Amino acid sequence: MRKKNPNKRDELLEKCFDCFCKNGLEATSTKMLAEACGMSSGNIFHYFGTKDEIIIDSTAYSMAKVEDDFMENAPKSFDDVPRFLHEIPYWTAKKHGEKYRFMYQVYTSPSYLEHGKEFFKGVTKRYTDYAKSLEPKLGIPWQVIQPLIYSFVRASVHYALFEDEEYLLLQIGMIEAAVGMFREKYAKKAD
C-alpha cells in the first residue's frame, strides 16, 4: 500500500466537509464526495477507510480550523473587546453557519455521539489555551476568561444556527458587563 500524503488528506477532509455541509449527512453519497475531491469513488478510499471515517475526520478537522479562524480574531487589547463581541458573531454566522449546522447534525447523531464527546474534550483544551493567551491582553485571569469564552461561543453559534439576535444581544450585554467588572476587580488587586 502506498504511503498517504497527510497534506493531501487534509485538503480532501476540507473538500469532503464542504460537500457534506452543502448536501447534508444523509444525502451525501461517496460518489459526491469523490467528485468534490476530483477523484474516483474507489480512489477516495486510498485516503479513508470508510464513509464514517470521512464524516468523523472531516468534521473534527474542519471544525478545529473554524475555531482557529474564530480565535485569530480575538481582541488585541481590552479596548478591542467591544469590537470583538459585536462583530464576530455576525462574521462567523456568515462565514461558518453551514459548518456549525452540519457539525451539530453529526455530533448529535447516535452514530457519532462518542466522537462528538471526544471532539469537545479537545475544545476544552483549546479554550483553555485561548483564555491563557488573552489573560495578559485583558488583565483578567484566564480562569475567569474561560467561562466567558464558552458563553460567547455558544451565543455566536446559536446565532449562526438560528439567527436569534435577541438571545445573542442579551449574551453580549452580559459578557460586556462581566468583562468590565472583572477588569475593574483585577485592576484594583494589582494596585
For residue 61, what is its C-alpha cell?
478537522
Position 160 in a domain: yes
Position 66 in a domain: yes
Question: Exposed, middle or buried by CB within 10 Å (0-12, 13-18, 19+), for 191?
Answer: exposed
pTM for this model (two decimals):
0.88
Position 30 in a domain: no
Position 65 in a domain: yes
Position 27 in a domain: no
pLDDT tens for 128-178 read 999 999 999 999 999 999 999 999 999 999 999 999 999 999 999 999 999
Provide the residue range defining the domain that includes 123. Answer: 60-190
Cβ atoms of 153 and 73 within 8 Å: the answer is: no
Instruction: Answer positive or negative: Cα dihedral of 71, 183, 137, 85.
Output: positive
Query: What 3 state SS string does the chain have?
Result: CCCCCHHHHHHHHHHHHHHHHHHCCCCCCHHHHHHHHCCCHHHHCCCCCCHHHHHHHHHHHHHHHHHHHHHHCCCCCHHHHHHHHHHHHHHHHHHHHHHHHHHHHHHCCCCCHHHHHHHHHHHHHHHHHHHHHHHHHHCCCHHHHHHHHHHHHHHHHHHHHHCCHHHHHHHHHHHHHHHHHHHHHHHHHHC
Position 51 in a domain: no
Cβ atoms of 59 and 103 within 8 Å: the answer is: yes
Position 14 in a domain: no
Separation of alpha carbons 71 and 63, rounded Å: 12
- Average pLDDT of 42-71? 94
Per-residue pLDDT for 2 more than 50?
no
Position 33 in a domain: no
* Residues ≥6 apart with Cβ < 8 Å to 5: none
pLDDT tens for 162-173 read 999 999 999 999
Neighbour tally for 36: CB within 10 Å: 20
For the chain, how many structural domains are there in total? 1
Residue 71: the pLDDT is: 87
Residue 189's pLDDT band (boundaries 50, 70, 90)?
confident
